[in-house]
Structures are given as C-alpha cells and as structure tokens.
Structure 1
Amino acid sequence: MDNFSYYVRDDTPVEVAESTLRILQAIKEEHDCDYTIIKIEELPEDEQEDVLENIRILSRRNTVGVVSKGRGSLPISRKKNLSNVGILIHSRDNKDISVHPNVKNNKLTTVVQYLNLILNSSSVEDALDSTHISEDDISRMISSLPELIETGLTFHEIEVEVEGGRIDAVFIDEQGKHFLIEIEINAKDNAIGQVQRFKLPYAEKYGVNPEDIRLGIVCATIDKSRMTACRGAGIEVYCLCLEKME
C-alpha cells in the first residue's frame, strides 16, 4: 500500500499546504492510498534528525537534490534544517521510495506536481513508471534524432522564449515550416492550451507566416479524450514507443 507523509511547519504557506491536502485526499479516494500530516515543530529533535537523515538517504538513492541553495524551495534549508516548503515522503509497503520537492537534471519537481502526476495516472504504478523518463530525456532524444518525429525534419532550437512562455523545441520540416513542439510525459489539457498560445507570439517574434507554423506534442502517453481535442485543434501528437526488432 502507498502512504504519503507530509511534513509542514507553522510558517508553511497556507495555500501550498491546502492545495497539497486536497490532492492527497483525492489520491486517497482514487487510488486507495493513505496519508499523514506531520507538524515538524511537534517532533522531538532526535526525530527531526531522523527525518533529515532519511531525506539524505533518499536523495542519494534517487540521485536528486534536496538542499536549498536559493530561496528555500527544497526540503533541507541552507542551515541544514527541515525547511518550511512542505516535504512529502512517499512510502510503498512500508519502504520510503521518494522525497519531494527535489531537483534532478536542473529541473525542480514540486510536491504538487508529483501528486498531480499520481492523481492523473490510472494507477500509482503507472505514475512511478512515468517518472523514470523525464521531459529533458525526451528533449535530448528528439533534438538529437529529429527523424524519430518525421523524416526530413531538422532540429532548430530548444527552450525558445516568446511572449507568454517558453516553447520546448522548434524544428523545421522539408517544406520550410516551423514545427513548435510541447514536450510532456503524460499529455494533459494544459499542454494543448500551451502549444496553441505559442503560435501567434512565435510568428510575430520571428516574422513567420502563421500558416507556415505547425503545432505538436511529443509525449509518453495521452488519453483518447485529449487525443480527440488535439485533432480538433490541429495539433499533431507523437507518442514515444519501443519497437521490437525481428
């Protein structure tokens, strides 16, 4: 069984804690998990040290960063105390398997992001499987091998800043059209809206005719309803898969 321990301080931002609790309750109802809320100030010092050490162990095991270097967005503060960010430890069958928030490959994954991934997956197992590949991994794959998406496609640029956000990757096809790509592990409604919003700002910034811009999503999974929405919006979808060679 999956259990979540959520550690908060008196000065943990209320909106963060409330949002996390709502998602935890939804996960409990959807996936038959359990959760516990723990107030750090109520723990004896030796128990706080045990929690700190457990976080360090999980950090080493999962090769993630957990010590704050900037504004205190990670579980361990610069003074080596438990921070007020709200710390989530995920246990499975009485074994701790992950701690959030964390940083891996320079990408921060918040507690809310991790819990939403679980909530929106068909099972906790599916969510855990999807964490084995990151959006950065997909970005490296398709920028190095654009033919995975389409024959004749040429990689142009990653993380292109435009008004309203950042485009994950841009390619040029054989007809000279600009192909704007949003990268997701599990493609959700926000990915559809995100890539749609980029078309006009990109066209204006780079002087490209909007008719010469294609929109696409590259993901690991997408459900049927979102696939239907993408077709209606003129967004091309590419799902990564492994093909057995005979």
Structure 2
Amino acid sequence: MSSLNLLVSVASEFPVSHLDRVADRVTFQLAIAMASGEVVPFKIAASPGPAQHVIAREIEPKRLPAFCPERHINSDGSFCINWIQGDPRPVVDTESARAWWASLEDYLRLQVAASKLRRWPGPAWAHGHAAEYQRSAEAHARTLGEPLLSQVTHGSLTTRLDYRRGHNRIELRANGEVLNRINLPFRKLTNLQMPCPCPEGTKTKRPIGQCGQHAEVLAALIESLHRRKKAEDKYIADLRKKHIRCCGTLDRCPLK
C-alpha cells in the first residue's frame, strides 16, 4: 500500500475532514485543538516524497508564512515535520501512518503557539544538514543524563572557538558557565578534573576523568554541537546570499 493510501486508511482516527484524493495528492482540513479550548483549522495538501516520506504544506499560505526557517517551513512551503536527514520516518504501515498524523498535529500546534508568542515555543530544531549533528549531540547527551539532554534539545548549550594561550580549543558553555573544552585537532577534553555533567558527577563533583567513559562522550558532544553551529551558520549565510529576508512573524530571527 502506498504511503498516501496508508494515511487515508487511518485518517478517521484524527480530526480530519474534507478529505479528497486526486492522483498523487491528498487534501484535507485538520482541526488543531489547543489547550485553551481554541480549535484552529488548517487546510493541508499531502503528496509523496522520496523513500515513502510524505510531504505536507498549506494549500495556500494563509495561517502560516510561505517560508520561514525559524518556524521550520521550507522554501517550497513544505513542513519540516521530522528531520528527514537525521531522523527518517517513512510511512510504511498503519503504525507509521498514525505517527505521521500525530507529528503533523504536534507541528501545527507549535505553529499556532508561535504565531501568538512570536517565538518558536518548542525544543530547538536544527536546519538542513545541521539536523544530523543535532541528532548526534542528543545521542551523546542522552548517555550523560536527562538534564544535559534537556539542555541540548532546548538549545541551552553553546560552543565557541577559543584561541587563547596559543591553542585552538572548542569551549562548551551552559548559562555562561564553562563546562569543559576540547583541544584541536585531537578533540580531547583539556581538563579531566572538571566535574562530570552527568547527574552523579553534578551531585558529588566527581572529576569527569574518573567517571567511566564520560570524558570521551562529552568530547564527542562538544564536537557535534560545534559542527551543528557551523552547519546552521552556513545555512543562514546561504539564505542571505539568495537575498531571502525574515517573514516578520517572529521577534527574533537571524534573517532580520
């Protein structure tokens, strides 16, 4: 069964109406229920993408901007529901079809909130190829515990190149505090006596060099976050070269 047929087969389980299928395109209205009780209808078109992915977009850009990287709407108007490069989720059976509908609901719920708050309300999502590095960073952070994973997913950790003392290093910071650094080109932690950021290390101030394999994991996390930042910066720079400007729907945007 095709990916579109799978979506249609489970559509009745979701707040979908006015569903119509014409060739390789399905149009429908999806009612998004907010916590406030407000119900916001979206008119959506879905079409098949590569490798059994399904691409969704507004039939006409009325409630959403035609393009906004900060709101994860691609230049062709399609929605970045999942990170196709870093976390592929093709529609191959009824279970994945239900997951697609649920992801679309969550995505549009975030969009409604973004319009009201004028900021992206959910976890930080990477753009373009940066998604691959964010997924890698989250995997490393998960090994170090839920608190650090939460900081990664919400964009609370920052990296910067540090050229002091004649050495090239990448510095990891959280809320202005240095957690550790890796040296270049060896990509090893520069200070194994600093506390491990895992829950036990945070509680007991255990040096990261004495906390199992966490020194190697944190070094890999720092590198992944740094690569994510470089990929994000390049993504925005490429948009600027194309003279693409901010859509004006959010207060903070790198394209302003």
Q: In proportion to residue count, which structure has more strand?
A: 1
* Higher RCO structure (Cα 8 Å, ≥6 apart): 2
TM-score normalised to the size of structure 1? 0.29
TM-score normalised to the size of structure 2? 0.28
